[in-house]
Amino acid sequence: MNDRFVWIAAPVHDLLRKGLEQRGYTLIDDSNFERSASIKTLSCCEGVITSTRLKIDREMIDAAPHLKWIGRMGSGMELIDVAYAESKGILVASSPEGNSNAVAEHALGMLLNLIRRIGWSCNEVRAGQWFREENRGIELEGKTIGIIGFGNTGQAFAKKLSGFDATLLVYDKYRQDGFPNYVSACPSLDPIWENADIISFHVPLQNDTHHYCNEAFIAKANKRFILINTSRGEVAETKAIAIGLKSGKLRGACLDVLEGEPLSALNPSDALLVAEMIGLPTVIITPHIAGYTYEAIEKMSQILLQKIVMDK
């Protein structure tokens, strides 16, 4: 095959496009992710740049005899059969370093917005209302924040929080050392359950993290806490969040991701729960945009270009 095709199936920065073209690739821009169309497109490609909408499983891989590499914009490999791809000699590269700062900033922004009631009170002022006592907030200083998962985004979030004079408890089942001095590493979740005022999830979606935050997890917390989830929607069970908010076990929730997102794809029961939650002043939900900044797109594009072609 003379032409070397790359399917651009995700938003990317022009530097990635130009870098691939300079290396002799012909780019295919196609946003049709219907199964049969995806298989047809991928079948002629040497590489693919993907994000969260394209599932690359065994069937897709077997239908792509020319495929040499898969580039993932961002983190999270749950939609790619990485083991099978690598068994076929296909390079699989992600770029979590590129959007970790963006995710950390967004998580902090949601948290501050929630505890200081910024968005809620702003909307009241827009409606001609002026409620001060009702919008009295709380401060991060002196609070205990549990961070579950200390990869790229967990580390970036901890760094942002390090200047707030809060106690940072970190748990990562895959890491035992190399923690910065402004966090306290925990051998188990127990110290977080016992002490945390805020718990933030920064874990990949895999078998042991599906519904990680469920009713049992929330029930084990000694304090009413604020939940932050910027990882994957399926990490925190929608029903458990709703029950926690109603019971008071959850003081609030900052969610950038939902189970079964987008809203139009939610099952009826979850859609009803989300509609009820978003009407609460203690809940902030954003449409999976934490890692989706202009800067992050550029950083991830540069990182993927380095990993998939420049290192060869």
Catalytic residue among 13, 17, 202, 232: 232
Residue 312's Cβ-count burial label (10 Å; 0-12, 13-18, 19+) is: exposed
Is 288 a residue of the active site? yes
The letter for the amino acid at 168 is L
- Please list, in sequence order, all residues whose beta carbon lies within 8 angstroms of the beta carbon of residue 242, skipping any fewer than 6 positions away: 273, 276, 277
Is 261 a residue of the active site? yes
Catalytic residue among 46, 237, 259, 261: 261
Whether omega for the bond prior to residue 191 falls within 30 degrees of 0, making it cis, is no
Catalytic residue among 4, 66, 116, 288: 288
DSSP state of 184: E
Q: What is the DSSP string of 273-309?
A: HHHHHHTSTTEEE--S-TT--HHHHHHHHHHHHIIII
277-280 own/partner pairs: CB under 8 Å, 24+ apart: 277/241, 277/242, 277/245, 277/253, 280/245
Q: Is the dihedral angle over the CA atoms 219, 169, 278, 210 positive or is it negative?
A: negative
- Provide the token pair at 37: 């169309």
- Ramachandran area for residue 89 (φ above 0: left; ψ -120 to 50: alpha; else beta): left
CA 192 distance to own-chain centroid: 21
Give the three-state DSSP class for 132: coil
Are 258 and 283 spatial neighbours (Cβ–Cβ below 8 Å)?
Answer: no
- Please list, in sequence order, all residues whose beta carbon lies within 8 angstroms of the beta carbon of residue 79, skipping any fewer than 6 positions away: 50, 52, 54, 55, 56
Is 211 a residue of the active site? no
Could you tell me the CA-to-CA distances from 72 to 40, 101, 167, 308 in Å, in that order? 20, 17, 34, 10
Residues acting as catalytic residues: 232, 261, 288
